[in-house]
């Protein structure tokens, strides 16, 4: 068996979070019907998800089960050699960190897809900046290019399954950006159709694309202003000072109490001593 066909699965890292384990088991569930005693083999892994757990308590039995399942995905009867006399199915998906794909065929049993090869890789820094549509289109282009020796000139048009509905119209699109135009030119070498399938029903390629997701760390909000430029404001207990001075300073003769003579005197004094007067800068001589 060509190692390039199975590297995406054999190099699958051990799950370290509940989400990663759920993703792996979701991928495994698609092939459970081909795996002898699947429930017994996967039991050490499924038992880790019982109850409300914030982190995994990994065991030696879980390690053995994880290895056994990966081996079962990459050997017969699950993994089949590509047959050029049968139509191919390419399932693709993209995440924020990677792309993944599965090449499959229906061998004798019309409703059941058997995998022929797996593909997965990380996105480059530039590719991470693509929008969702371009990431999904990149996944389709990369998968077809990976298996072009089987797909180019194949006996039957192959089917591409994606969870991005807009890709169904890529061949008839009138306005394309530079990336899409180059990739569309590449697609003209192949005969295929694009079929939309909701992401919830397409976990195989989805799990392979998310293999490269970075571990989720506790997020902390980023302050708009760095603490180094923040200065503690100067406080002026104005109201307390006014009340205190109102009691100690008598109101001038002939001036009503409500006029708050001290407050006026205080503000005029502060204004006179200030470098800014009536909106203008005052420079002392």
What pLDDT digit, counting tens, does each position of 171-212 carry? Answer: 888 888 888 889 999 999 999 999 998 866 655 566 666 655
Class of domain 3-73: alpha beta
Whole-number Å distance between alpha carbons of 118 and 143: 9
Q: Say whether pLDDT at 72 is over 60.
A: yes
Confidence of residue 255 (pLDDT cuts 50, 70, 90): low
What pLDDT digit, counting tens, does each position of 122-171 carry? Answer: 888 899 999 999 999 999 999 999 999 999 989 999 999 998 888 888 88
The domain ranges of the chain are 3-73, 88-212, 238-279
- Exposed, middle or buried, 23 (CB in 10 Å: 0-12/13-18/19+)? buried
pTM above 0.75, yes or no: no
What pLDDT digit, counting tens, does each position of 9-28 carry? Answer: 778 888 888 888 888 888 88
DSSP structure string for 180-224: HHHHHHHHTTS-EEEEE--GGG-HHHHHHHGGGPPPPPPP-PPPS
Give percent above pLDDT 70 in the chain. Answer: 65
- Looking at CATH, the fold of the domain delimited by 88-212 is given as Nucleotidyltransferase; domain 5 (3.30.420)
How far apart, in Å, are the Cα atoms of 110 and each of 54, 86, 113, 150? 42, 11, 8, 20
């Amino acid at each position: 068996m060509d190692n390039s066909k199975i590297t995406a699965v054999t190099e699958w890292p051990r799950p370290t979070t509940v989400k990663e384990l759920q993703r792996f088991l979701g991928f495994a569930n698609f092939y459970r019907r081909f795996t002898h005693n699947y429930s017994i083999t996967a039991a050490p892994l499924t038992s880790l998800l019982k109850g409300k757990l914030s982190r995994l308590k990994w065991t030696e039995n879980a390690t053995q089960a994880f290895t056994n399942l990966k081996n079962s995905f990459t050997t017969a009867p699950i993994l089949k050699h590509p047959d050029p006399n049968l139509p191919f199915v390419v399932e693709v998906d993209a995440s924020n960190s990677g792309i993944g794909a599965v090449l499959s065929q229906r061998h004798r049993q019309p409703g059941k897809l058997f995998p022929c090869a797996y593909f997965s890789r990380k996105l480059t820094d530039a590719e991470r900046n693509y929008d969702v549509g371009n990431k999904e289109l990149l996944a389709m282009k990369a998968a077809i290019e990976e298996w072009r020796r089987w797909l180019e000139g194949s006996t039957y048009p192959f089917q591409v399954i994606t969870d991005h509905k807009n890709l169904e119209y890529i061949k008839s699109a009138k306005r394309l950006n530079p990336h899409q135009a180059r990739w569309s030119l590449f697609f003209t070498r192949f005969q295929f159709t694009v079929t939309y399938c909701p992401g919830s029903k397409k976990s195989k390629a989805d799990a392979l694309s998310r293999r490269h997701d970075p571990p989720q760390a506790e997020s902390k909000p980023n302050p708009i202003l760095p603490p180094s430029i923040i200065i503690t404001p100067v406080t002026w207990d104005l109201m307390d000072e006014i009340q205190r001075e109102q009691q100690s300073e008598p109101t001038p003769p002939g001036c009503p109490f409500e006029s708050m003579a001290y407050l006026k005197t205080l503000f005029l004094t502060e204004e006179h001593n200030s470098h800014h007067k009536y909106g203008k800068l005052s420079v002392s001589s």
